[in-house]
A = this chain, B = another copy of it.
Amino acid sequence: MIRLGVDAMGGDFAPGNVILGAIDALSCMDSETELVLIGDSRCITEVCRHYGVDSGNFVIVNASQKIEMGERPVEAYERKKDSSINIGFRSLAEGRLDAFASAGNTGAMLVGSVRTLGLLPGIIRPCISALVPLFNGQNMLILDVGLNTDARPEMLCQFAVLGSLYAKTVMGIARPRVALLNIGAEPGKGDSTTAGAYRMLEKGGGDFDFVGNMEANALFNGGMADVLVTEGFVGNICLKQTEGMYELIARLGVAHPFFKRFNYEYYGGTPVLGITAPVIIGHGVSTPVAIKNMILEAEKVVRCNLVSRLKDALAIENKGV
């Protein structure tokens, strides 16, 4: 049996959207999977009643506190020990959950990932990824999309390792091609972080093919790479600009099936890569559809054994160095 913990208080429209998304997710998963809603149990029961959802579908774990979206992550995580996010991480660390997913305060999710779960051996910083829809019908993984800023070159190299392992394990790509997001194609181009990462990656040695620099105008083309590595500040801006473009297209009333693939709702959430257990972060504005897909992503990550496969691969990697 798989037990997925879901932060019922996470996101701008919690717990309403979380409950609606969770009930939809249940209908898509096999009966072996149990959903554990963590939050204000009275509120959860009431909202279930309001929406005509049988709260008996879920295991409900009470949390007397909630970390708000705008709170300072470290402070809030340290102070609110009985918050849904804290309880989620503790339950995961103690083996009472197989994964924990939240559309709440991203910073607090990062703090919990690092402090309560811890990093995989050799990892400097964890990261998060996103899928970019490509013209050729496939998707490209881009990471880091915002968990770190001021990354160093060696961190970008680790993102390449983590991203290629995700591409193998979850996307089923036998030997991922990894590119660096840069402002020119030639080696030596770019800021010192990216140019430094290029020098390290071109030496090879990883279980992926480094294919060089990719410029942002090729972002949606497809064909060159399966995984695109960048620093978190840049990756987050890339992702948000894509989001802005999607919204603009919607406002202009322009229709094309391709644009639907830009809808963040279909991706729902992204696993934190580089930590010792499966944690999925959702978008703060999550709709029920997004929450459903965040939960399905959590289930997929557990079923793929992503974390233990990352751990094994890193052990080989670390041995090799």
Contact = CB atoms under 8 A, between A and B. Distances in A.
Interface of A: 70, 135, 146, 149-150, 181, 183, 186, 190-192, 194, 215-221, 231-234, 236-245, 247-248, 251-252, 254, 256, 258
A270 to B, nearest CB: 15
Given A135-B251, A191-B149, A254-B256, A216 B244 contact: yes
A247 B251 CA distance: 19
Contacts of A149: 183, 190-192
Sorted nearest first, the 7 A-B pairs with minimum C-beta distance are A216-B240, A217-B244, A149-B191, A216-B241, A217-B240, A183-B236, A191-B233
Contacts of A254: 254, 256
Given A149-B190, A150-B191, A233-B183, A241 B244 contact: no
Contacts of A234: 233-234, 237
Interface centre among A190, A221, A248, by most B CB within 10 Å? A248
A215 B191 contact: no
Contacts of A232: 183
A201 B113 CA distance: 34
Contacts of A194: 233
Given A181-B237, A248-B258, 7 more contacts: A70-B186, A191-B231, A216-B240, A219-B244, A233-B234, A234-B234, A254-B256
